Chains A and B, each alone.
Chain A
């Protein structure tokens, strides 16, 4: 297990290098000259050149890249163009709000997805199964900003049960978490169902029944643990989708998270903020998938890393 963890940790290195490369070149691939933008539209040629010099844009790419990575490793992601403050401190608090939102949404989608999936699989082709699967299809195909707006419309405006926007109190959490978690719940429900249906026909399930195990235990003890194995992978991947979805959800609910902040920064062409945020979110994604792989290993005794 330790060897596995260490090996898996080593495998994140090329991914992290890849991420930093992409983020770094993003700056250069985006149309427009960063120096021009930072210096302002009315800056003359000399001022732009001076800015370019200050930003180190005249250095060869590898020098710039090395500088970027060493700085980033020390927590220095540059300064915001707009506010002039350090990117790391601008991102800081907002990052945790987004993490919180993503975390609760993931929990919700796992909880609902698993239960719905199991119920669906064990009552295959029943009315309930059909209902859940249709619902899941809706959950999947609904754009989440639209779902968010609908939730606001009904639960906040029409009935006035929950607050329209903001972040912090449990009441404020509810609507954004449902908005963001629904698609994930639908995917997990479908995955659990198909995985469960496959496992239920395995020989070892028949063995369990032949032993006289109660049906409830056959499902929740013998089948579920095996069925969870592919579901875990989906949860990891889903987390990435969730981070993307956070942008819209935060915008709809006016939550001061990283997602919304990035959108703002893109609009303002605040490159250092965009760069820093993407880097931080990518690292979070890498980290979550590392955790997923470790738990995958705990569930599945047979896995070998290749």
Chain B
């Protein structure tokens, strides 16, 4: 392939640009649809409290050496005793999130709404791109790339002889799907921008179990060795004052 392929300008006008525009519009539309469907969910006091307990226990663990030994021991017992310590999770209560989800229909409903707003438009656009634009070479990037990029940039074209720097239309769709975050943050405001990669991560993160972090924090607290640092501060203060007085 010594000579370059010449891409029809009509491809630019009717494939490359429309595809990008449609992706942006769909992103915006989805933002507004999900805003409509979002239901305000009052946070559960128990979950809020657990979060706060974890923060406080973490503070205790990291700054333990700054308070006297007696104060530290009292707090450790308060947090991690076996009877009613804040971090102690009774065996029977370790209810996993999956079961909780099924017991609470609202939660399942919320999940479904989130899923629907993500999957349906994605499937539809993919089908649309596949139907109308399959097999186009839509663009050429201005620098050469190695063979490894072929699967990324030439999805849908099974020609091993085409130079890798040509981008197929389907790949252009994928690039848009994952790369429009910056644009959305410009259009919709910083905190609203969420691209599909993030959405997927969010999905994966579901099923997080707060009781696990409670018991992890408890284990961490149990092994903390208390060593009061304040006596050292006396020497340091002396050094500071000596310098000051001099």
A binds B: no
